[in-house]
Structure formats: structure tokens, C-alpha cells
Structure 1
């Protein structure tokens, strides 16, 4: 009897394995359900029937063959992968009435979000593949009344085991591809062309775990890769690598919405051709803890504000029932091997808020070229705290009083091997620092400045070390100490009034 029972179990296992193998080979063509690829016939019902039938049969691929297939919102199901073949285009309907909301929420500006062309909710083993194109026709959708609803192109909500590979995504009305509260996500070799409308993000990773984004090419009007937490769930265990970026906003951004923590995130090998509103942007303004984050091997050209780190106190919520958070924190962050050509405004800005320090940052092997041309008037600008504002570079205005680094409300920060070049003379200080503690400036190269400003201005500071600073300024123009500045050392010597300078090269 035991042998029979064992044999029975083995048979069941073999049948299950065989069924699994068969499921993986199942391909259902959308034309079986009456879809017409003429670019005019609305195929929403036909394609959805193919998806539902595929899932009901245990899963497989739903094939979109060569042609142009007009559709409204489609919802992927368990074990179903949408196969958009080469020379095929899945074309979003130009009529906003053909779209439905997929788990709605409010974004950082308070607008209703969640409509989508391709969506999936609470699904497992799903995704999109193929070398075809998904085109949202965003401008036409917006013109039809989609300004307030603005469908995403692709949206996965609370899904597990998601793969998006090889596909070409273009023309969203809002964000291109949004993953919310998903686990085990892979996106690779995805090409995104998302321009022409506001909020045209590339890839948004929102409250997700175990995510791998690699080998993608993103040209976006808004942030190219954006980490968000629109709910208190964390965003963690994420790897981003080998990404080409051209963007009208930020290249790598954390925290447009930041209600949940950001933890254990690695970003590497990023090539940024252009970023109009920032290169590396780390924000916590809604209560998130940003911790254990490493960003490395980043090349940028033509970028405003290459590195900005901001702790704020906007403290918004984005979903019904979520509790308002206390002020968050930013620490245990490492940024290394960053090269910037044609940076503008200023190289780096690090700003906490009074009573809340950014605490624990290492920046190493940083090379930044700035245009110069800063004026004496620019050097006198006082940046407002603006602790309740939307997290963006423009919150501080276009005039930044330092060309290399502006830092305040920060401690335990280490700068090692930082080099600046300037295309033209600049009248601003290279560094302005206030309300800082335990900061190390090691092996800096600065091009100097013109006018009456010191090269480095430090106020209300303690335990500051400046070592091996190469600069052309005379001793009386290198360092100016203001306020309660104590234990400031230059190559091991205590700086006193009048301040002394390290040896010039």
C-alpha cells in the first residue's frame, strides 16, 4: 500500500511538471478572438478575452503579431505574458473613455493617478516581452480630456514575479512604467521614448522589493528612474545597472513621494547624456528613512546640479487611511566614481533642515566641471529653508551662492578625492557650509574664484577637517570662519583668526 501511495505521488508530480512545461509553451494569438490590426478597430475586448483565456488554461503567452492594434486598458492576469512581436504596435486609444483606473492614488502634487493602458493587479508570473512597440498616443489622449486622468503606459500593482524585457515603450500620457508594491521584478533591455508631455517619467519603482533594472535606454521628459514610496511600505533590495539616460528632469531620483523607507539600493554604471533638472537626487520629505544606498560609476554631461541631497518636512500622505509620518532621515549613503562634464548652477547641494541633520554620507572620486560665470551678487544669496516644499532643485531658486558645494544642517559627511574645473572665472566661493559637524574634506582640487569672496566659507561648525586642498587662492582668501566655528583644522593645524591656508600646490 505504501509503494502504491508513493507511486501515486510520483505520478502526480510528473503530471504537474508536464502541465507546467505545457503551460510555458502555450501561445494564444489575439486574432483568435477577433482582434484586427488595422490601427483603427478598437480591440480592447478581444485582447482581454485572449488574456483571460490564457490565464484560465494555466498561463502562457498572449501573442500580438505584426500589425497595429488599437486598444484601451488591458489587465494582465496570473501566469500570462504579453508577447508583442517585432513589427507589431500595441496602440493606445486616443479616447480617454477607453481607459480605467488601476488602483488609484494621489501623486506628490495631489493629482489623481492610476489610470493605465497595460495594467496588472495582484497577479503572479506576469509581464511583457517581445521586440515590438507599445505606444500610448499620450498627446491625443490628453486632448480628448485626459489631462486630469493621464494614463500610465504600463502599471503593475501588488504583483509578484514580473518580467518586462526587450520591449519598446513610447508616448505615455503620464509615467511610462510604474511598479507599485511588487516583489521580484526584472526589467531589462527596455527602450523608453517618453517625451512631449508633463510627468513623462521613465521607470518608477514604488514600494517594491527585490527589483533588478538593467541594460535599458531611457529618453524621458520627466525623471528617468524614480524611486517612490506612495505608501508606508519600503522600497528595498533594488539593483539598477547599465542604463543610458537622456532626460528633461532628473536622471536618478529618490523621493518625489517618500512615505516609506528606501533601503539596500545599488545603482551603478549610469551614462547620462543630458539631465535638465539634476543628476543624482536623494530626497526624504514625507518621513522616509534613506539608508544603505550606494551609487557608483556615473558619467554625466550637460546636467544641472549633478548631486543634490535634501531632507525636508513636507509630510504628505498619498492614499486614504495612511498616517502622517514624522520627519525622516538620510544616512549610510555612498556616492563614488562620478564624472560630470558641463555641469551648471553648482556641483553639489546637501541640505537638511534646522533640528534635523543629514547624517552619514560618503562622496568619493567625484569629478565635476562647472561653467563658472557666477557673480558677486550670486555669492550673497541666502537660500531659504523651504522645508515644506515639493522636493525639487528649483525649490532653492536658480541662484546658488557657491559653485562647488553648498552644505548645511549635516554631520558625519566625508568627501574624498573631489576635483572641480571651471570653464570661466567664478566670483562665488567654492564651498559654503553652515550648521555642520564632523565633516572631512580630503584631497580636493579647486580652480579658485575672483572678487572678494573667500574660497571656503564655514559658519557654525565643529570638528571640520580640511586636508590636501589644492587651490590658487592666497592664504587670506582661502578660508573664512563665521559664527561658532570650533575645532577647524587645515592639514592638522587648528584654524584661528585670521584663518590660515594649507600649502598651495
Structure 2
């Protein structure tokens, strides 16, 4: 199984093209004055594209805008101290058909969008701020009314959505306060996300929302559904030197769901994913598969830090979806209060078999090695009745854990070597 290292770990290189010309959004009328300047900024994007492309600079200052749409050959560059601040009005994100949670429906676009554009470049040390508090308040109000409400019952804009692009570089910028997911990549190839910082408040869920209170005076310190990076039906994605602190999955690998998921041509396999040299500070999983996912293969997470309360290997096994997760490597990780080494188990949220028989899912060829630090529990490694879990290697691990037992189902080929938990060899029943 050690040969999987060469299968999964090709680091992508995305070269920045030479910048032929440079413009500033202020040349087109954008101002740092607290007013909405969507039209001016979009006019700047369109004009640079019409000139054959170049770098469009957001200078120091805070510029408020609604949904923006990048065009071919336009690099969006946010300088140090520059902030693109999202509008808090949903009308500034006009509904359009878009990919969301494994399917398409009319929904709100993101603050920054690129659709069918190759050589996407979004760079700099500035900030995308989703200004998400009113959207969070609307969701928590709905959750207060209906504790079983779904994510999509309350429309909230993402911070960035890249759809159908090849050769993508997102470098250096900061994502914060997104109304929903932060960075959503769909059907993209050859992507490098490098040196990006993603933050969202992740305190306690608010218990009571007073709708009469102005949203900007509400005490809300948790952003719902604040996924850091959603890799949806993509191939060849490298996530490098990123810092993620959110209230949901740090990285989620996504596709679609349901008994007929394997037949969905709009959701090709997620494969050839490399995550390296990252700092995971808060979230529901270092790397999570399964809310919507069918085939995920050739994935490596290495040389990274995992902070308090975060599961390392989180694979959701839906009872209504045939899933194949194969060739995963988690190596050289430092744990500091992580939740669990494994969180692999059935996921029954909002599932629907209809008239179909329960499908069988497979998890195979999983390597976890070179792990040090402390965590709460070794965790769970089990599936739904009939699921297959096979070829799992735990190697060169030295950790302390409050709960040292691995809760496991049937596993075909579980190999444990050089694994110490609380100073003793891991006992596998």
C-alpha cells in the first residue's frame, strides 16, 4: 500500500501569465464610500476583457458590491488593505441557474463568479468579505421556526464560485464572513489554491433570534454552512499553504447524491486532489466526503496541522447513494486537540431511497501514517449494512487520546504497524 504515495501526490503548478496591462477599478467609477458599486466594477471587468485582458486592481479601501462575473484573461488583484465587501441585499445577487448541493436550481450567485472562463487568476493580499451577518441571522431565524430546515431554505450568497474552468490560480487573498460556502469549485481542472486564509465565526449557535432587533446589533458568532473549500466534481486540485478556521467542513469533496447518482453526467469523479502544508484551525473535518459525493479517488493530505475539535478522516456513507472512496493518504500530520482520527460512518441526514433498494458503497485503500499529537478519540470506522471497507493501513503513529478504542465494523485487510496510543500499541479487536 505504500506505493499509493506515488499515485496520489502530484503537486500541480499553475503559472501566472505575463500581465500585459493594468487598470484600477477607480478608473471606472468605483469608490470606497460605503455605496454599492457593482455596476462600476463589472464595467471595469468587461472593459479589461474587451481590451484583450490584463490585471484589474482593487486598491486599498473598502468597496461594496453585489455579484461580479469575471471574464476571460482578466486577473482580479486585491492589493494589501483592499476589501471587496459584499452587499447585504439579496437583490444584489440576482437569481440564476447554478450548481448547489449536487444539483442545479435557480439560486443566488456568489460575490465573485467565473463561469466557463479558463486561466482564472484571483490574486493579492486583500480581502473578500461576505458581510454575512444578516444572512446568518435569517438562517438561524428559520432554524428556530423549523429545527429540520435544510441549508437551501434560506438563500445566502457564497463568496466565490468557479464553474467549468481550466488552469485556475487563487493566491494570497483572505476570505471572511461568507454568507454561505466560501470557495466553491465546480467541474474545474488544474487548480492551485495557494496561501489563502479562510475564516468564519464558529461559536455557539444562537438560541433565540429577535427579528425586531437590527441585524447589525445582533449577537451572532456562528456562520452556518461556512465550508472553507468545496471541491465539486473537479480533477487536479492542489490546496497549498492555506489557513482555514470555519464552522463547517474545512475542505469538502463533493459530487451528487441519491440512488441514481452514478448515472449523473453533470457530476464526474473528484480525483487527483493534493492538500499540503495547511493549518486547519477549526472545522467539522480536515477533509470531508459524502454530503453529496459519489466517486472520490486519489486524494492526499500531508504536512499539515490539525486543531481542536477537527476530525481527520471524515467519510460520510449515505444509505441512499452508491459511493466509492478510494486511494486516500493522510500523512505527516500534527494534531493539537483534534476530534478524531477517523469519522467514517453512516450519514442519514435528509436521505431518500424512494423505491430503490439500498445501494452498496465501498471505501478502499486508505493510508494514515506519520501522525503525532493529541486528540479526543481514535473514532469510528464503519459503514451501512452491506458497505465494503477494505485495505486500511495505520503506520508510524504516536498519539495520546482520551478514548483509545477504534470503534469499527467489518474491515477487509486492516493493517496496524508501529502505532502507539497513550504509550501502548493500538489494540484492534
Please say if 1:273 is aligned against 2:307. yes
Q: Given the alignment, which residue of 18, 24, 27 partners 2:19?
A: 24
Residues 119 and 352 of structure 1: CA distance in aligned 2, closer, same or farther (over 3 Å): same
Match of 2:85 in 1: 91
Task: Please show how residues 1-40 of structure 1 align to structure 2 within 5 Å.
Answer: 24-38=19-33, 40=34
Q: Given the alignment, which residue of 110, 114, 118 partners 2:112?
A: 118
Please say if 1:139 is aligned against 2:133. yes
Q: Is the 8 A contact 1:347 1:368 kept in 2?
A: no
Secondary structure in 2 matching 1:417: strand
Match of 1:308 in 2: 343
Of stretches 231-240 and 85-94 in structure 1, the one that deviates more from structure 2 is 231-240
Secondary structure in 1 matching 2:134: helix
Secondary structure in 2 matching 1:83: strand
Residues 264 and 153 of structure 1: CA distance in aligned 2, closer, same or farther (over 3 Å): same
Residues 167 and 331 of structure 1: CA distance in aligned 2, closer, same or farther (over 3 Å): same
Match of 2:4 in 1: none
Q: Distance between the aligned counterparts of 1:179 and 1:110, measured in 2?
A: 14
Deviation track 1:307-349 (CA, whole Å, cap 9, x = no partner) reads 22236688969xxxxx9994331101211112231x22x3131
Deviation track 1:129-183 (CA, whole Å, cap 9, x = no partner) reads 1111111111034447897111111111111111100101101011111111101
Please say if 1:223 is aligned against 2:249. yes
Post-superposition shift, 1:114?
Answer: 5.5
Residues 50 and 110 of structure 1: CA distance in aligned 2, closer, same or farther (over 3 Å): closer
Match of 1:207 in 2: 233
Please say if 1:418 is aligned against 2:419. yes
Please say if 1:258 is aligned against 2:320. no
Q: Distance between the aligned counterparts of 1:228 and 1:328, measured in 2?
A: 15
Deviation track 1:55-101 (CA, whole Å, cap 9, x = no partner) reads 22221111111111000000111111111111111100111221134
User: Structure 2 length as normaliser, TM-score?
Assistant: 0.79
Q: Which runs of 5+ in 1 are unaligned?
A: 1-19, 318-322, 373-402, 423-443, 447-454, 459-505
Q: Distance between the aligned counterparts of 1:166 and 1:325, measured in 2?
A: 44
Q: Given the alignment, which residue of 187, 197, 200 partners 1:191?
A: 197
Post-superposition shift, 1:290?
Answer: 1.0
Q: Distance between the aligned counterparts of 1:54 and 1:213, measured in 2?
A: 29
Match of 2:185 in 1: 179
Q: Distance between the aligned counterparts of 1:325 and 1:106, measured in 2?
A: 25
Please say if 1:366 is aligned against 2:397. yes
Q: Is the 8 A contact 2:93 2:108 kept in 1?
A: no
Task: Please show how residues 129-168 of structure 1 align to structure 2 within 5 Å.
Answer: 129-143=123-137, 148-168=154-174
Q: Distance between the aligned counterparts of 1:220 and 1:59, measured in 2?
A: 34
CA RMSD of aligned residues (A): 2.9
Residues 114 and 331 of structure 1: CA distance in aligned 2, closer, same or farther (over 3 Å): farther
Post-superposition shift, 1:255?
Answer: 2.2
Q: Distance between the aligned counterparts of 2:125 and 2:408, measured in 1?
A: 46
Q: Distance between the aligned counterparts of 1:118 and 1:365, measured in 2?
A: 43
Match of 2:333 in 1: 298
Match of 1:237 in 2: 272
Q: Which structure is higher in RCO with an 8 Å CA cutoff and minimum separation 6?
A: 2
Q: Which runs of 5+ in 2 are unaligned?
A: 1-15, 140-151, 202-221, 257-265
Match of 1:48 in 2: 42
Larger Rg: 1
Match of 2:380 in 1: 349
Q: Is the 8 A contact 2:111 2:130 kept in 1?
A: yes
Which structure is higher in strand share? 1
Q: How many residues were matched structurally?
A: 368
Q: Distance between the aligned counterparts of 2:123 and 2:104, measured in 1?
A: 33
